[in-house]
Amino acid sequence: MAFLSDELLATIHGRAAEIDAQNRFPFEDLADLKEAGYFSAFVPREYGGGGLSLEEIAAEQTRLAKAAPGTALGINMHQIIVGLGAYLVAHGNPRGELILHSAVAGELFGFGISEPGNDLVLFGSISEAIPDGNGGYSFNGVKIFNSLAPAWTRLLTFGRDDSGDDGPHSVFAILDRADGGFEFKDDWDTVGMRATQSQTLLLKGAHAPEAQILTRTIPGPSKDPVVFGIFSHFEILLAATYAGVGERAVEIAVEHVKTRKSVKNNTVYANDPDIRWRIAEAALIMNSVGPQIRELARDVDNGVDRGSAWMPQLSAVKNAAAEASLRAVEQAIRACGGSSYFNRNELSRLYRDVVAGIFQPSDQESLHGAWANLLLGPVRDA
Ligand SMILES: Cc1cc2nc3c(=O)[nH]c(=O)nc-3n(C[C@H](O)[C@H](O)[C@H](O)COP(=O)(O)OP(=O)(O)OC[C@H]3O[C@@H](n4cnc5c(N)ncnc54)[C@H](O)[C@@H]3O)c2cc1C
């Protein structure tokens, strides 16, 4: 059974165009999602949450993205971190409980990982993590594309600790908004995904006490549950969100060609073999995405060990969804014709939104590098 009601999704859908046009944060969507229990939907029942599995929350993210991609991509960051919390508890890191209790208490998590020009992304930070001497850390640095900037109350972030004689370490922590030590730049003026309000965040001594440090680990694609937990939930839930954009584009095209009439053929475009082929093509592209998402989500839910294939396959599912959705939106636009070029048309917004999927991690360069390493091993001297 679905968690988010059709009525709520219709309400959120009804606001999406205006929120995009005004380039503003969807406070009312977030309030409604909180009211519906969505902030804690992914928290296990024994912690007081809704008990949804990763497979189930991924399905909800696809439904929400069909209604409003920007709102869905924003709350996706929160769901990634809640999923991390449950994953940590299940894998022997009790600090996950901090995340789960916070989500049940109504806290909203932001995701402060990406940094300017840092293509290591999760596998190495260029921000500073400075130890406070009591097991806590203060963070200095720039985090880009910080979705939910106007609203998050807690932030997952990481920085690099160079203080020890054991080499650089990545320190992952949860920051409290109320503790300060950061500023936002009001710089979110983008092509699409405008409702995420993913502003640049400047960390200026933001402090996390020892109780809020999730791990201190060696940089790189590690087996640390914090790194794998973030990576797996990020890639699967991002895939689920972009899948919603592509699926919605197919729905719009199907409805539109039933009324768009051809003078030449004296019938609606839904009877035109070329248009029928295009729409079938868009649906077929999307048809292969859902099963991939569900299979990987199920394996994370069930603790399946895919060994060294895990990370490349997780990157692949996000890329499959993002690329399929891009192509499906394009086919839908071709089928619907010039009316889709007007800003008032939902397809034009989906076209702008779906482009973000191209460069959100893992991008194609990172995907192909991971697969080449899996298949060929590292590059060697001739
Ligand atoms: C809609 C959307 C929402 C996102 N939400 C989040 C989120 O909540 N949390 C998160 O961690 N990530 C988020 N991401 C970021 C995403 O994960 C990628 O890291 C991001 O797309 C950057 O990709 P890039 O490496 O191609 O861009 P880059 O090439 O790194 O460019 C990104 C920005 O950094 C600047 N920049 C690049 N190099 C330098 C440099 N050397 N010095 C100074 N500035 C530089 C660019 O001018 C640009 O403004 C989001 C992305 C999108 C599109």
Q: How far is the CA of 4 from the centre of ligand 1 (A)?
A: 30
pLDDT value at residue 222: 85
Q: Whose CA is nearest to atom 13 of ligand 1?
A: 145
170 lines ligand 1 (CB under 6 A): no
Across the chain, what does the average pLDDT equal?
Answer: 97
Asked if residue 187 and residue 132 are part of one domain, the reply reads: yes
Least Cα distance to 57 among 197, 234, 319, 226 occurs for: 234
CATH code, domain with 303? 1.20.140.10
Residue 66: other Cβ atoms inside 10 A = 21
For atom 36 of ligand 1, the residue with the nearest CA is 116
Residue 1 located in a structural domain: no
Q: Residue written as tokens 């402060």?
A: 112
Instruction: Note every long-range contact of 196-199, with CB atoms under 8 Å and residues 24 or more positions apart, other chains counting.
Output: 196/70, 196/73, 196/74, 196/147, 196/148, 197/24, 197/25, 197/74, 197/147, 197/148, 197/149, 197/150, 198/74, 198/144, 198/145, 198/146, 198/147, 198/148, 198/149, 199/146, 199/149, 199/150
Provide the 3-class DSSP secondary structure of residue 137: strand
- Nearest-CA residue for ligand 1 atom 19 is 114
Residue ranges of alpha helices (H) inside the chain are: 6-22, 27-35, 54-67, 69-90, 96-104, 225-257, 273-287, 289-301, 310-336, 346-359, 364-376
Mutate to test the pocket of ligand 1, among 20, 114, 126 (most ligand atoms within 8 A of CB): 114
Domain assignment present for 59 = yes
Q: Which residues, 6+ apart, have CB-to-CB distance to 187 below 8 Å?
A: 199, 200
Is 169 within a domain?
A: yes
Tally of domains in the chain: 3
**Residue 352 counted as domain residue:** yes
For residue 92, give its domain range.
6-108
- For residue 199 and ligand 1, the question of a CB distance below 6 A is answered with no
Could you tell me if the CB of 355 is within 6 A of ligand 1? no
Do 12 and 44 share a structural domain? yes
Q: What is the pLDDT of residues 213-261, one digit of tens each?
A: 999 999 998 889 999 999 999 999 999 999 999 999 999 999 999 999 9
Q: Which whole number is the average pLDDT over 12-28?
A: 98
Q: What is the pLDDT of residues 96-109, one digit of tens each?
A: 999 999 999 999 99
Are 82 and 204 within one domain? no
Name, in order, each residue with C-beta under 8 angstroms of 167's C-beta and a sequence gap of 6 or more: 218
3 state DSSP class of 157? strand
Residues 177 and 58 reside in one and the same domain = no
The residue type at 146:
N
Look at residue 262 and tell me if it is in a domain: yes
95 and 178, same domain (yes or no): no
Average pLDDT rounded to a whole number, residues 334-341:
96
Atom 37, ligand 1: residue with shortest CA distance: 117
Note whether 34 and 99 are same-domain residues: yes
Does ligand 1 come within 6 angstroms of the Cβ of 193?
Answer: yes
Q: 210 with 275, same domain?
A: no
Categorize the per-residue pLDDT at 382 as very low, low, confident or very high, splitting at 50, 70 and 90: confident
- pLDDT at residue number 241: 98
Q: Is 366 in the pocket of ligand 1 (CB under 6 A)?
A: no
In a domain, 382, yes or no: no
For atom 46 of ligand 1, the residue with the nearest CA is 116
Mean pLDDT (whole number) for 54-66:
98
163 CA distance to ligand 1 centroid (A)? 27
